[in-house]
Amino acid sequence: MKVKRMVTIAMLIAMYVVLSLFSINLGNMKITLDSLPIIVGAALLGPLGGFLIGFIGSFLNQLLTFGLTATTLLWVLPAAVRGLLVGLYAKHCRFHMNFWQTQMITISTALLVTALNTVVMYLDSKIYGYYSFAYVFGAVVPRIFTGVLTAFIFGSILPLILGPVQKIIGTNVRESEESN
């Protein structure tokens, strides 16, 4: 992995961690902008870069917030899966997604992340003995709404962000991803 690529991934991981610490927590619902670095990184660097940003960023956030628990890796998976899928789709589009492709991938991964987080919340609540149907499933509709809304906003601004970021980091950062 080239140094510039590693530094870009590290900076996006740091952005993820900072954004995740500045979130609005409403019990079983979290409103945050932390997925933006995952989406940007995956769109620029492909599936491996997106996966690493989501996995390591979410892992560090979990450690800082809750410490290492039996379910830490479960909570990390949704962000890692989002990075992987957005990166796979970006690679499939040869890293040139139009507005509707960007909307489709950000919204579909937001819905998947909401579903995965709900499953993880269910498993976590069963393992640690705090399960309540109302707690786990009561806020699914608002979580879906906020997830789709933020995904639409991210999908709308992503094309505006990618051009300048590509100029700053250079397009050669994703060369190893395109050749795979």
**Mean pLDDT computed over 144-153:** 94
Q: What is the pLDDT of residues 101-110, one digit of tens each?
A: 999 999 999 9
Per-residue pLDDT band for 56 (boundaries 50, 70, 90) equals: very high
pLDDT at 11: 96
Residue 46's region, left for phi above 0, alpha for psi from -120 to 50, else beta, is: left
Q: What is the pLDDT of residues 118-141, one digit of tens each?
A: 999 999 999 999 999 998 999 899
pLDDT at 178: 53
- Residue 173 is given by DSSP the state G
Tell me the pTM: 0.91
C-alpha–C-alpha distance, residues 107 and 110, integer Å = 5
CB 99 within 8 A of CB 68: no
Percentage above 90 pLDDT, the chain: 76
| CATH 1.10.10.10 at 3-179, yes or no | no
